Structures are given as structure tokens and as C-alpha cells.
């Protein structure tokens, strides 16, 4: 006799419309990434586990900190994942880690004596080696204010309990995360590429799913401009490309009027999701997709269920 599947709410200890506290979610990314999607992990599990067939591939066109791809593979929610990132520095980290050099990064982190002078010297090194760029990026991400890599960012001054740049430098933890990435690297692919080009390439792939988290610049929002080097995104075109994908997709955005208007224009559903950021402040972001009925207990922003149709 086949045992009935355990309800998702029991599997994940999740109550409908619960505020997601990111401190309760496993941390797999080596990045302290602004705009990271740790808060979405419980929803990611719901989305992928309610599918009839395990996806062959998850494509993350704006990979950033990569938590979605890492979790999807680590928890066997998909067979493999393709991470895509345009930023040269972030790309260097993922390319190094996925290509068999994660162990080197782990060792380099453990060997490094972190202080302001050593960090400054390392960041100012003139080396175009992919491994050196990757290591410099990790130092900047962990020692710069907010983990921001964009121009104008600088070292933490006070940090937690006055620890300054040591506030977010946990060498043993970082090394462990890179070594864990090495264990799943055969199921990961990374490309230093433009998200739109990759979406075009995979448009007709049916058993492929897409998690799309662009910089939050829709409607002239400034957050993405401050946080990311490559913030200029044509959001209307992005929506258009998404509705033409053969595979299913989820988009995450800030809860903005312009985003809701784009969702309505392309006959997509949108739902607000409460979450807590690293400062424990409650926030709301939007999840956008063709059918969000799997997100129980949260009302759609668009009141009527819409039927998918080709974009015009």
C-alpha cells in the first residue's frame, strides 16, 4: 500500500502567508549578497515539489549569490542548474568554484590573515588571474558595507560590535561552503553571459524551469542602481521573453505599481510575499508567474485568474 505524501506544510513547517525569517533558512552561498533570495527558499521548495515531474534543468539568469541554484541542486529539486551572471567579479567566483577550483578558494580563505592592510593590498593587486579576481571579490563582498560590489562601495567601519571588516569574515564557514559547492559541481553549470541571450537560447525547452530575479529598477527604482554594476534592465522586454518561454518560470520583484502593471499587461499572476530581511525588518516582495495557485494562503494581486496567452 502506497503511503500518502506528507503535506508540504508539515514537511517545511510552513503556515500559509507566514513571514519568512531568512535566519531560519540554510545558508549555502559564499556571498553576502544585497537583494539575495534566501527568503524565497521555502516557496522555491513548494513550487518545485508540487510539479508532476522533476525539472531537467533550472536556469537562473540573474544568479547573483546563487542561493536558488545551490538549493535546487543540493535538495534534489531539479536534476541540474545553469547559473548565469554578467558581473565580471561575481562571475569569476562562480566560474572558479564550478570549474574545479572551489578547494583552492577554500584553502586561500583559510590561509589569509584578515586585517585592513592585508585586505587593501589584496584588493589593489594587479592580477587578471581568474582565481585572483575570485578571491578579491570574496574579500570585497565580505568586507565592504552591505556586501556591495558596485562602484562607490567601501570597507565596513564599525560593523557588528565594533569588529569592522571582521564582522562578516568567517573563514571556516566560507571554506566549508566552497567545499560543499565542489561536491555538487557536476550538477552545476556557470556562464558569464547576458540573461536575455540565455533566455532566448532556452525558450523552447519544456522541462526547464526559470527563476528570474532582475535588479529592482522597474519604474525608476534606485535600489538596483546603487547595489549592482549591471542594473540597466529592460523590464518590459524581460516580461515579454518570459511569457514566451515553453518552460515554467517564477519572477521576483519589489512590490511596486509598475511591476503589477507589467504583470497585468502580460496576463500573469502576482502575489505579495512577506519576509524579514537581515535586520529583522518585515518587507513584502512580489512573486510573478503564470499560475501561482501553489502559493496557498496568499491572495493574488490580480483578482481574476488569467489564462496564459502569447504576448503581443
Residue 231 in this model has a pLDDT that exceeds 80: no
Sign of CA dihedral 279, 284, 289, 291: positive
Please report the pLDDT score of residue 196 as a whole number: 96
Please report the pLDDT score of residue 156 as a whole number: 52
Task: Give the residue, 240 or 169, on which the prediction is more confident.
Answer: 240
**CA-CA distance, 109 to 147, in Å (whole number)?**
17
Q: How would DSSP label each residue in the chain?
A: -PPPPPPHHHHHT--TTPPEEGGGS----S---TT--GGGHHHHHHHHHTSSS--SEEEETT-TT-HHHHHHHHTTSSS-EEEEE--HHHHHHHHHIIIIIHHHHHHHHHH---SHHHHHHHHT-----HHHHHHHHHHHHHHBGGG--STT--B-SS-GGG-GGGTT--HHHHHHHHHHHHHHGGGEEEEES-HHHHHHHTTT-TTEEEEE---S-GGG-SHHHHH-SS----HHHHHHHHHT-SS-EEEEEES-HHHHHHHHHTT-EEEEEEEE-TT--EEEEEEEES--TTSTT---SSSSPPPP----
Please report the pLDDT score of residue 146 as a whole number: 53
Task: Give the residue, 124 or 282, on which the prediction is more confident.
Answer: 124
Residues 199 and 300 in one domain: yes
Residues 34 and 48 in one domain: yes
Contacts of 277 (CB under 8 A, 6+ apart): 22, 39, 283
Residues 212 and 308 in one domain: yes
Per-residue pLDDT tens digits for 165-202: 666 788 999 999 999 999 999 999 999 999 999 999 99
Residue 102 in this model has a pLDDT that exceeds 70: yes
pLDDT class of 298 with cuts at 50, 70, 90: low
Residues 204 and 245 in one domain: yes
Domain boundary residue, one of 121, 151, 186: 186
Residues 49 and 96 in one domain: no
Share of the chain above pLDDT 90, in %: 53
Least confident range of 29-43, 75-89, 147-161, 250-264? 147-161
**CA-CA distance, 110 to 158, in Å (whole number)?**
23
Residues 111 and 134 in one domain: yes
Residue 214 in this model has a pLDDT that exceeds 60: yes
Least confident range of 128-132, 153-157, 221-225, 234-238? 221-225
Domain boundary residue, one of 138, 166, 186: 186
Share of the chain above pLDDT 70, in %: 70
pTM: 0.79
Residues 48 and 37 in one domain: yes
pLDDT class of 245 with cuts at 50, 70, 90: very high
Residue 114 is placed in which grid cell?
Answer: 584578515
CA neighbor of 264 nearest in space, from 297, 306, 312, 214: 306
User: In this structure, what CATH number is given to the domain that contains residue 225?
Assistant: 3.40.50.150
Per-residue pLDDT tens digits for 7-53: 333 333 333 345 444 444 568 899 886 667 888 898 999 999 999 89
Residue 235 is placed in which grid cell?
Answer: 523590464
**Mean pLDDT of all residues in 208-220:** 79
Per-range mean pLDDT, top range of 9-18, 56-65, 231-240: 56-65
Residues 78 and 106 in one domain: no
Residue 225 in this model has a pLDDT that exceeds 80: no
Counting the structural domains of the chain, the total is 2
Residues 74 and 208 in one domain: yes
Q: 281 lies in which domain range?
A: 1-86+193-312
Residues 198 and 78 in one domain: yes
**Mean pLDDT of all residues in 45-68:** 94
**Mean pLDDT of all residues in 63-86:** 96
Domain boundary residue, one of 186, 201, 228: 186
Residue 288 in this model has a pLDDT that exceeds 90: yes
Please report the pLDDT score of residue 153 as a whole number: 59
Please report the pLDDT score of residue 27 as a whole number: 81
Amino acid at each position: 500500500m502506497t503511503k500518502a505524501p506528507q503535506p508540504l506544510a508539515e514537511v517545511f513547517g510552513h503556515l500559509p502567508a507566514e513571514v519568512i525569517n531568512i535566519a531560519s533558512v540554510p545558508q549555502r552561498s559564499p556571498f553576502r549578497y544585497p537583494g539575495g533570495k534566501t527568503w524565497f527558499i521555502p516557496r522555491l521548495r513548494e513550487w518545485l515539489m508540487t510539479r508532476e515531474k522533476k525539472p531537467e534543468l533550472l536556469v537562473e539568469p540573474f544568479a547573483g549569490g546563487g542561493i536558488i541554484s545551490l538549493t535546487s541542486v543540493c535538495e534534489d529539486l531539479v536534476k541540474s542548474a545553469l547559473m548565469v551572471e554578467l558581473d565580471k567579479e561575481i562571475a569569476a567566483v562562480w566560474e572558479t568554484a564550478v570549474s574545479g577550483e572551489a578547494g583552492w578558494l577554500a584553502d586561500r580563505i583559510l590561509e589569509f590573515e584578515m586585517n585592513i592592510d592585508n585586505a587593501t593590498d589584496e584588493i589593489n593587486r594587479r592580477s587578471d588571474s581568474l582565481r585572483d579576481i575570485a578571491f578579491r571579490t570574496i574579500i570585497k563582498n565580505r568586507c565592504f558595507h552591505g556586501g556591495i560590489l558596485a562602484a562607490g562601495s567601501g570597507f565596513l567601519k564599525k560593523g557588528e560590535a565594533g569588529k569592522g571588516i571582521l564582522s562578516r569574515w568567517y573563514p571556516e564557514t566560507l571554506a566549508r561552503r566552497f567545499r560543499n559547492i565542489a561536491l555538487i559541481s557536476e550538477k552545476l553549470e556557470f556562464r558569464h553571459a547576458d540573461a536575455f541571450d540565455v533566455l532566448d537560447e532556452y525558450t523552447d525547452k519544456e522541462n526547464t524551469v526559470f527563476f528570474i530575479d532582475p535588479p529592482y529598477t522597474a519604474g525608476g527604482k534606485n535600489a538596483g542602481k546603487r547595489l549592482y554594476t549591471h542594473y540597466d534592465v529592460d523590464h518590459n522586454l524581460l516580461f515579454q521573453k518570459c511569457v514566451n518561454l515553453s518552460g515554467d518560470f517564477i519572477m521576483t520583484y519589489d512590490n511596486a505599481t509598475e511591476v503589477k502593471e507589467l504583470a497585468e499587461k502580460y496576463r500573469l499572476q502576482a502575489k505579495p510575499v512577506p519576509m524579514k530581511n537581515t535586520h529583522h525588518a518585515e518587507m513584502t516582495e512580489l512573486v510573478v508567474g503564470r499560475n501561482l495557485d501553489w502559493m496557498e494562503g496568499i491572495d493574488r494581486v490580480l483578482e481574476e485568474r488569467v489564462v496564459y496567452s502569447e504576448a503581443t
